[in-house]
Amino acid sequence: MSVVAAIQMASGPNVKANLEEAEKLIITAVQQEAELVVLPENFAIMGVTEVDKVAIAEKYGEGSIQQFLGQQARRHGIWIVGGTVPIESNITGKIFGASLLYNDQGEVVARYDKIHLFDVVLEDNRERYDESETIEPGDEVVVVDTPFGKLGMAVCYDLRFPELFRAMADVGMEICVLPSAFTSLTGKAHWEPLLRARAIENLCYVIAADQGGYHINGRETHGDSMIIDPWGVILNRLPQGTGVVVSKLDLDKLIKTRKSFPALQHKRFDSRISYT
């Protein structure tokens, strides 16, 4: 068994203050014996405007946010999923929303650039989001071997695209980490059912670390960070507030579940299917 943690925050525009808060929560997770800690999307900055994150973008492998993540992983001897970090793009005015996985030596072992970008208008409260104005989308599916199992990486809006999760399952994903900043409006309607569906469909664990609370930019995020097992059972959750969600993952249980209920082997539709 492994002990994992999802951290819930309400980040603001001050990077230093956000990192200090993240450190406190990482320590809390470590005190509960967490070996893998997942931070939420935009944990280091939720700016007043979308361009604020572009202004503090870091070169890949350099910068204070990445140094912080490496130091925390090494200091506590844990693996960390660094939510998303604004990483420089070759396109002026844009960054990658990069989710970085650090091992217990403080080394980056995987990088996933958010593929699906949140460009929507929420008519109920007139909120508008245009992530593509400041974020360059990634195009690679990422699944990596870890001591906890084969770990797949996704971010927030990716949750609505089951084909991404099935692509990860096709190459062996057993655990999916999902740093997020789900809006309060969409979260109330869709967060839990989508998370449980992705776990059930792919017979995998899901570790969802969400922003949760009111932000200086006027935005409200949903929270309700949770850890879900391959049968869709919520093992632990934090509905509101800043804090840490901790649970044990049992890969033997996952293997038994997949063996007794081999839905992943029953897939019939793929790119070879012809349509008339």
114 is catalytic: yes
Cβ(35)–Cβ(149) under 8 Å?
no
267 is catalytic: no
Q: How far apart are CA 267 and CA 230, in angstroms?
A: 17
Catalytic residue among 35, 114, 174, 204: 114
Catalytic residue among 21, 53, 58, 156: 156
Q: Which residues contact 193 (CB under 8 A, 6 or more apart)?
A: none
Catalytic residue among 35, 41, 58, 174: 41
Q: How far apart are CA 236 and CA 33, in angstroms?
A: 15
156 is catalytic: yes
| Residue 49 phi, psi (nearest 5) | -125, 165
Give the E-state strand segments of 123-242 in sequence order.
Answer: 127-130, 143-146, 149-153, 175-180, 205-210, 212-214, 220-222, 225-228, 234-238
Closest CA to 253 of 154, 192, 175, 170: 175
The residues annotated with a catalytic role in the active site are 41, 114, 156
